[in-house]
Structure 1
Amino acid sequence: MSRMRALLRTPWFWGIVGIVLLLIINTVKDPTYLAIGVNPNTGLLTGNLLDIVRVSAPIIMIALGMTFVIATEGIDLSVGSMMAVGGAVAMQTLSTIDDPNSVGAMLAAIGLAVLLAVILGMVNGVLVAVVGLQPFISTLVMMLAARGIARVITGGQNTSATNEPFRQLANGQILGLPTSFVIAIVLVILVALLMRRTALGLMIESIGINPQASRLAGIRPRPILISVYVLAAALAAVGGLFSVSEVMTVSVSGTGNLMELDAILAVVIGGTSLAGGKFSIFGSTVGALLIATLNKTVLFLGVPAAATPAFKALVIIALVLLQSERVRAFVFRGGGAPRVPAGPARPAAGVDSPVIKESVA
């Protein structure tokens, strides 16, 4: 029973509940919604579930990077534009290569895209950690600047390219799963090992909880803050590569547009507080899958484009409310405040009360 209560208090649990409910709604409309088939032309597996995990790969990438930025009590509004930069560099590089099946061209495109994103992420980190600008302001400026850089790279035009190995990033499969999703999960595991098997994750959390105390404990916040924004930018560029590889075209105004909002929502749904501190990598991944499922559901149910934001907002608000212990107490126990376990009796708050003494001190 105690394990069940602990599970109900876990934010990502309600994200999984939301995914299941959305899939049930879609299945009610179409009983074959969860069916998996085989494409006779390509021999690859097809189905709505595979479509969901494929489109979730870019969201997982930007949500993963956003998790650590938010854990330091920051925000990164430039991840959507970083996706556009990564896609622009990749498409522009591949469009200059004559060999359509060159693996070397694909690796060069990926390397240059990530490299430019790392440089821009370092600028973000320096503005926040060294110059002392607010993360909201510095990343807002970078959001506009990076989108402009993408336009400069492509000459302001949507750019297409042909490269079969690069196209397989989104359209290929590994063990029946989309290649982009498999790569995204591998990166999530690698980053999780980095954060939890080293002191880096603990230092990020300590900076988010109390930067002054962490500094007194010997933690240097500047290098960590810079590395966090660099990581967020690099992962966003990878997300951009996944996005453009599906259609082999980058739209300088459309690629990554408003994706920073989906990233923030995924992180919050996963249980990472906007006030900084402890983060949940698994929770952010679940949140990204929920956002992808929600986007697919909106299209499948035929929700009008004008009503789509309101529909998504209602679902997300309901999910966030379910994460509140007070709301759960009202819904599941018929009202009243959440139960507080009985503890030792506390002395009256008189003059000699420890509570008063601590507050005076």
Structure 2
Amino acid sequence: MDARTSKPDRRSGGLRFSQEGIVFLLTLAMFAGFSLLLPKFLTSGNVIALMRSVSVLGILSLGMCIVVIGRGVDLTMVATLVVGMVWAVKLANEGVPFGVALGFGAGLVSLFGLVVGLIVAFAEIPAIFATLAMAPVIFGIGNPFLFKQDTHNAPAGIAWLRELGFGMSFGIPNTIWVFAAVALLVHLMLRYTRFGRSIHALGDNPSAARLTGFPVRPIIVAQYVMTALVAYLVGLVIVASNSGINSRLAYTTLVYDVLLVVVLGGIGLSGGRGGVRNVLVGTFFVGTLLSGMTILNLTHTAQNLIKSVVMLMALVAETFANPRDEQTSQQGDI
């Protein structure tokens, strides 16, 4: 959905578009194969469950793509959504109006994003190390200072929350409509706003962006605040879909599934390239893969092995599709 993804790149020889197309075809083939070989795959219940899981994975990946396009990465997303949403739910269950509690949670995750952004922008620590270190810090602030229990049930009697998680419009789960709305907003932001063009410019060539007058450090900080808020929205979807949230979600491999979506979709880790279309392609591939492996009852170890091999292959493909030139190799990576 971004013009940058539809034009052959001089350094990639057009391979980026081919990677995206190949992943899309593999998704169709995998979906067809699972439908034929797994009797439970094409049932209405599994399809709805697949769509709901895709919405969570997809919205998180949209947030991740913003920082990756800007030559960053955010490994704090899951910790941020867990701490912010668990605290909001806890406040609501203690008598705080749910809307007010959500506002407190949004303020908290914005603060987390601000701190991460400031560290990356001003301390100039590579984003992968800064966010890797900050993820346990964020969760450590939440547990035990803001909450102590693992499981937190959604507040009762909130009709719109239940409708969000279990309702359907035109035969499609409402969570998918939320995913579609966020995808549209991110696409419009990246394509048509000065901020979106600044993110692409920053990711493509940070030195040139500085020389041309882009406020590089404020852009970096804004990226991480925006990503934190997107993660918080995913937390709300999780609460609505599961009637609650478990803080142990922070210990899962969800953030690596998000990275797998981004890499498979064809968003260049060297920054400056990619868009919402890439996220959509990667999301449906990973969502279909996870659903099939779950029905096959594969162990978590086996699933992680398969996902790791797929990610490694995608990283190798991305390297060949976007070879580094001398200028790129001299600039900071994620």
Both proteins in one fold, TM over 0.5: yes
Partner of 1:212: 207
Deviations 1:35-62 (A, max 9, x none): 44xxxxxxxxxx3222111111221122
Structure 1 residues 170 and 255, CA gap change in structure 2 (3 angstroms): farther
Partner of 2:147: 154
Deviations 1:172-227 (A, max 9, x none): 22222111221121011012112211122221111112111111111110111111
1:308 to 300, 303, 323: 303
Structure 1 contact 82–240 (Cα < 8 Å) conserved: no
Identity of aligned residues (%): 25
Partner of 2:164: 169
Query: Partners of 2:174 and 2:243 in 1: how far apart?
Result: 15
Structure 1 contact 86–114 (Cα < 8 Å) conserved: yes
Partner of 2:109: 117
Larger radius of gyration: 1
Q: Once structures 1 and 2 are overlaid, which stretch shifts more, 145-154 or 223-232?
A: 145-154
Give the structure, 1 or 2, with the largest relative contact order (CA under 8 Å, sep 6 or more): 2
Query: Partners of 1:183 and 1:122 in 2: how far apart?
Result: 25
Partner of 2:63: 65
Partner of 1:24: 32
Residue type of the alignment partner of 1:74? G
Structure 1 residues 160 and 32, CA gap change in structure 2 (3 angstroms): closer
Query: Partners of 1:75 and 1:182 in 2: how far apart?
Result: 26
- Report the CA distance between 1:63 and its aligned residue: 0.9
- Report the CA distance between 1:86 and its aligned residue: 2.9
Pair 1:232 & 2:227 matched: yes
Pair 1:145 & 2:137 matched: yes
- Report the CA distance between 1:317 and its aligned residue: 5.0
2:293 to 298, 317, 323: 298
Matches within 5 A, 1:62-141: 62-97=60-95, 105-141=97-133
Residue type of the alignment partner of 1:24? A
Structure 2 contact 85–102 (Cα < 8 Å) conserved: no
Query: Partners of 2:189 and 2:302 in 1: how far apart?
Result: 41
The number of aligned residues is 307
TM-score w.r.t. the length of structure 1 is 0.77
Query: Partners of 2:247 and 2:43 in 1: how far apart?
Result: 35
Query: Partners of 1:157 and 1:56 in 2: how far apart?
Result: 24
Structure 2 unaligned spans of 5+ = 1-6, 8-12, 322-334
Query: Partners of 2:314 and 2:119 in 1: how far apart?
Result: 35
RMSD of the TM alignment (CA)?
2.6
Matches within 5 A, 1:144-293: 144-151=136-143, 152-163=145-156, 164=158, 165-255=160-250, 257-293=252-288
Query: Partners of 1:126 and 1:60 in 2: how far apart?
Result: 26
Structure 1 contact 9–325 (Cα < 8 Å) conserved: no
